[in-house]
Copies of this chain bind each other. A is one copy, B any other.
Amino acid sequence: LFGLTGGQVGVGDDAAVVSLGGSDLVATADLLIDGVHFDTREHAPERIGRKSLAVNLSDLAAMAARPAGALVSLALPRGGAAGCSVDELARRLLEGMQPLAEDFGCPIVGGDTNVHSGPLVVSVTAFGTPTSRGVVRRSGARPGDWLMVTGAGLGGSLAGKHLDFTPRVPEALRLHELADLHAMMDLSDGVSLDLHRMCEASGVGAVVFYAHVIVAEAAMSAATASGRSPIDHALGDGEDFELIFAVSSEAGRDLLTRPRIECGLNWIGEFVAGSRVTLRRSDGSEHPLAARGYEHR
């Protein structure tokens, strides 16, 4: 039942959709742990709290759902953390969430707090509602569709973006208005791995165009440090929290030629028949794109 790879379970999508007798609910949960998803020795509680809510908002964005509220459960280390007492830690975590909760119309309506002997655990559940156009799943990509991605570049998120990214909620809702989105998901584990997931869910393959991939500055720096290539970081690094989506080539061309999404969009590949996921270099040669990525385990 549980796919133990540190991701969403049970539902095979970024969030679950549940019928509440008439209306639909979109719900998602992410649990973040000190030393795995953040580090209390380096990161202020406000940033940790903010990230914990943001990753859930990103999951709602991936479904093109409108946020409605969140619940926050904490396991707080008995001795405090990040130089804070237990009470101060809890307060500052919540204070980090509040501005995001307000900006995205996602009030924190409840939760549960406990003190224990282990590390800080922040468990957030967020829920929302579909728009009149319904939710967008990851399973609807078709051969010939364009593969597009939000934002100004990929990779290197662990240098800081993974804590401070802005979830693409308004962008997702706007895209959903502007185009018939065949499939969408957020990039939590890197393009390579997440694209494999979208392809598997959709029963298609994909080609990523090497020359179209915008490498983030942070990925350039990461490459210098790691000795790996910048494109390797751009496609393999986790926690970009951008959206990838599939649209018809006509819709994709329209989105590119009349830009209306403030964070920017890039066309980085196309979906194909079959199940292979490849990287096409400028010389036309195609190479398998491995489904690696950053898995929390």
Contacts and interface: CB of A to CB of B under 8 A. Distances in A.
Contacts of A22: 22-23
Interface residues of A, number: 60
Interface string A72-91: 11110000000000110011
Given A35-B116, A110-B9, A296-B114, A18 B87 contact: no
Contacts of A69: 16, 18, 25, 27
A34 to B, nearest CB: 8
Interface string A52-80: 00000000000000001101111100000
A118 B87 CA distance: 20
A212 to B, nearest CB: 32
Contacts of A297: 114-115
Interface stretch (A120-128, A152-160, A163-171, A247-255): A120-128
A284 interface: no
Contact of A68 (B8, B10, B25, B74): B25
B115 A118 contact: no
